[in-house]
Chain A
Amino acid sequence: MTAEMREATGLGRDMFIFDNVVHVHNFDPSNLIDDLAECANRNIYTGSTKTFPPDLRFGSYANFARAWSVEDIHRIIFDESTTDMAMAQAVPLYDYWKDGLAGVERQYELMKLDPERVIFCGAVDPVYQGLRTALESMTYQVEQMGARSFKLYNGHSARTSWRADDRDLAYPLYKRALDLGVTMIQFHKGLPLGMEPIESLRPNDIQIPAIDFPEINFVIHHLGIPYQAETIDIGRRFPNVYLSLSSWINYLALRPVPTLMNLGEALFACGPEKLLWGSEVPLWPAAQPLIDLFLSTEIPPHQLDGYAHPQITREMQEMIMGRNLARLLDIEIPARYAK
């Protein structure tokens, strides 16, 4: 999108926008572990391509299956959209990709490129790395790289899944995070990328940790689809559980009916205070069309009437698009966005 085009659309320029999740992905074939990983690569390509309009599509698998650069992501987010800040999230899927897919160092490089606007979210895996190495890595990522949060993936292929309420594997990660001053732990739930057992991605195992670690704010990504009902119910009942719009809101263009239903249910049950904007760039290869679409979205009359879903207000949009995440990370919103 050119600057002129952005000027023409550019919804959200008068609103603080803090993107919860962007990745500096490495889909290059040289980063794949095996044939299952190739399936996962193509699954993500096909799945994400389906969600956006034809003029935004990657064009070919080769255009997608590459090591996206920090400059690519920075340009899409900050030059071509009205986004103010973004969280670069590492991905620790070592069962498919040699560097986990969005390697820790590559997300850190994006933060170094623009430290005023990018927040670094680290990642570890206690099974693939071993718990001791994972804990040491957490300390390094916070103390040497400035991680403000950790992204965890407990659902894996090949019998290596673990549970978020595992006292031996997961709880030490939470304790170390708190020792390091990190109070935001994020989980990929639902949305299997390959052959992970689907039940390993149910969000239900977040509940007990949310009680045992009230100082931690847990963020559930992807609405846990196909477990969206459980995810929304957990977000409703636990004050320290938040839901990221990552990847499921991207279906607004392709599948507006179920996506609006999920959005209406989340607003009704959890409230806008619990929702965090997340674009998933570069899986969505342009952030601004998604921002434009979301900010121009209204809950349809049949949902207002039949489901009591609330209409989206400007105040709700502001909370979702950035104010909630800024509050959770204790980040001051620029004065120009003051109410």
Chain B
Amino acid sequence: MTPDETLYERSLAVLNEQIRPLLHIHGGEARIAAVDAEAGIVDLELLGACACCQLAPWTYAAVLRTRMTQIDGVNDIRVQGINVSQVALDRVAKMFPVKEKTA
């Protein structure tokens, strides 16, 4: 992370480098819809094959959320149309412990 990098730029880097290639394998896609730098919340939109996929809640909980909450400054990830209980998110997060915050 460089001092000039914004939260948007850091989030976009992780999305492009770590997540979108995985989604592209099966025709999925994701983009950043909004970033609230003050609250540390990144809103994502799932597109392509992910848009109406039955496994999208798992992609959100196990991939998007676990990887992107490791970004410095990110407190939570939200995806429009994904409605999952906090207790379920907490359980999945335990399977993928957050490592040291990184860019």
A179 within 8 A of B: no
**B80-95 CB contact bits vs A (8 Å, 1 = yes)?**
0111111110010000
Specify the chain B residue showing the minimal Cβ separation from A236. Answer: B52
Residues of B within 8 A of A268 (CB): 57, 83-84
Q: Within the complex, which residue of A233, A238, A271, A310 is in contact with B85, where a contact is CB–CB below 8 Å?
A: A310
Known: A236-B52, A237-B52, A268-B57. A311 touches B81 (CB 8 A): no
Residues of A within 8 A of B87 (CB): 301, 304-305
The reply to whether A273 and B81 contact each other, CB–CB distance below 8 Å, is yes
A111 within 8 A of B: no
Specify the chain A residue showing the minimal Cβ separation from B90. Answer: A305
Q: Within the complex, which residue of B52, B82, B88 is in contact with A304, where a contact is CB–CB below 8 Å?
A: B88
Residues of A within 8 A of B88 (CB): 304-305, 308
Give the contact-size bracket for chain B.
10 to 19
**B60-90 CB contact bits vs A (8 Å, 1 = yes)?**
0000000000000000000001111111100
Write the nearest CB–CB distance from A242 to chain B, whole angstroms. Answer: 14
Residues of A within 8 A of B57 (CB): 268, 308
Residues of A within 8 A of B82 (CB): 271
Residues of B within 8 A of A304 (CB): 85-88
Residues of B within 8 A of A236 (CB): 52, 54
The reply to whether B52 and A311 contact each other, CB–CB distance below 8 Å, is no
A309 within 8 A of B: yes
Write the nearest CB–CB distance from A234 to chain B, whole angstroms. Answer: 10
Cα distance A269–B52 in the bound complex, in angstroms = 10
The reply to whether B81 and A305 contact each other, CB–CB distance below 8 Å, is no
Enumerate A273-322 residues with CB–CB distance to B below 8 Å.
273, 299, 301, 303-305, 307-311
A272 within 8 A of B: yes
9 additional contacts (CB under 8 A) given A236-B52, A304-B88, A311-B85: A237-B52, A267-B83, A299-B85, A304-B86, A304-B87, A305-B87, A305-B88, A308-B84, A308-B88
Closest 8 interchain pairs by CB?
A308-B88, A304-B85, A310-B83, A237-B52, A308-B84, A304-B87, A305-B87, A271-B81
A interface list, Cβ under 8 A from B: 233, 236-238, 267-269, 271-273, 299, 301, 303-305, 307-311
List 5 A-B pairs, Cβ < 8 Å: A268-B83, A271-B83, A303-B85, A305-B91, A308-B88
